Amino acid sequence: MPYTYLVQFTLPSKYFFKMFLALIFLYTLLVTVFIPNVILFTKIIYLIFETLLKERFINYIFNDHFALIKKLADAELEASIYKVAHAISEIHISKHKKEYQRLHEINSKIKFENLILKTAVATLLENWMEGGSEIDSSDKRLIE
């Protein structure tokens, strides 16, 4: 007579069905709302897993899996923060480049005006030397 094995089949607990429905709801939220906002999505996922582990809805066997998922969510959050920081630094760099360009233009205008003034003073001195006349008070102020 062949051996028969007694296989114990148990239906999943009522929490399994609730979790399954919750996961379907979360997937719907993910597709419609949270995909554009990665930071919000990772925070929500982290809070869900934290709540599930606190309330003991899940068997302790799955704790390692949820720890892994938590690490992945944390890594995704960190990557999002890095991307935001990089974008902000790029904005600051472009602002500084524009400010540098503006200051460079002002500096070149000042140098040009300084050159014009030096030329005017040199012309004034040359005219004074050729004419031999005295420099009046307004011309002295220009030279100084």
Q: What is the pLDDT of residue 109?
A: 93
55 within a domain of the structure (yes/no): yes
Mean pLDDT of the chain: 71
CA–CA dist 25, 44 (Å, integer): 13
3-state helix, strand, coil in the chain (%, to 5): 80, 0, 20
What is the model's pTM? Answer: 0.37
Residue numbers of the domain that contains 75: 14-121
What's the number of domains the chain is made of?
1
pLDDT tens profile 92-143:
888 999 999 999 999 999 999 999 988 888 888 888 777 755 555 555 555 5
CA–CA dist 131, 39 (Å, integer): 80
Hey, what amino acid is at 22? A
Q: What is the pLDDT of residue 135?
A: 56
